[in-house]
Structure 1
């Protein structure tokens, strides 16, 4: 039997362990992959190459052997032998089918550990004729994409006027772009066609296959915009930076920036036309927000709503601040579904700031951020 061919299964590329928290328990990955690994050691097997096809929690390994192409198919599950991080992954594989077998048989078990940072992989046979043997691989070529939900965050700053950072975050699951500029946040809903166009541009970009992350401006360049693109998908994150004057930056980065930026700016909701200091309109906007806010929606008592005086802040455009008082039937903040809560009448004060007809800040008891449904982030003392 050709032991070199039997080593093929040990080269299985473990990007397949891109698990979400829920998918991991079910043994499902969220990745499609085609790649090539080459053995580094043991020396007698150095240079032997294998091709791998990954589709979620199934894997296929193809290599050339004396009996023709050996095809090994496996089921994959996450392993608890290491702490799963963005740079270290590990899982267990079980052979389910073999064509033209050389060494491996159905039922053989193999464990894998991957060092993503150094593009190294270690595979160890846990059973079968190769039990106890470990092989170190170099990851030479790959083409992969995750099927996990993703978000894209693009930040622009600089230019000849030295503009402050402005960020647009695209979330296809929520169907919107969130624009953040200073303390101002604007939610921009998108139609299905726009969401599809951005998603197609993202899938075409194949960001995980771009090896360089930082593209410096050309020598002597000045007054340029600087951009950062941050991808968050499953357990993986990837960030790129470039400028208007970075000739070496891939065109797909510029294309993603352009399509997201245009969609965000072209679909900004028109502000409500509020006459100067129209108390009734301000109260109506505040009331509508409070009724749908996480804390009030859970157990707020509508007949306890009270509105404090309205203050005009020194800003442009004008911002209006007011306190809204109400009582909840339980303790705590936000949506407390499935949580253990105290059943006690609890008074709250929600401070609301409104600009151009939109609530831009809402904090309950100086503790709970109603817009982001989380505790207020406070700077350390």
Structure 2
């Protein structure tokens, strides 16, 4: 009888341990998915710098991917890089090691990826003179082209319109995906069906402050909008 009780006790402890580990992993995953980032670009000593600021303190590690597009006259160059952010508690400066060229404009595309490989942030920072509306039309096109949803299986991207509301410039685009869903869907079971998408980008003070797909997908924070 004692042996049986001991066995049952050990089994109960084992099950409890598994539940605690699963709960901890679930909480960590939930915490990770709730972190959002703001990104600021600066020039310091002729070097491009990114400042990433998390919305909350988190023990999770995140990786970052960035692409820099430089234009100077008829010259266009692109740089790419990556890094790791560990135990985020403060704003994290990242030196892109790109020399700031005189009379050049820069577009810096940033993706932040959590420990499970999910893209949790996508944004564009500009270092340039104030772009014209026509230039914003092209910048918005590149923003959609580099977005996780479009990169995964998007095609036939088209400009769909422009509207100014006070200080805000609203840009609209349309494209088609080969599968359902949003973001980077690698490793997921997907319905293979052509899906039409419409993107609305809001520009204010030379910054993309909002990018919404189909009225429900937050392209910057890579999540379904609540409500």
Question: What TM-score does the superposition give when structure 1 sets the normalisation length?
Answer: 0.31
Question: Taking CA–CA contacts closer than 8 Å with sequence separation of 6 or more, which of the two structures ends up with the larger relative contact order?
Answer: 2
Larger Rg, first or second structure (1 or 2): 1
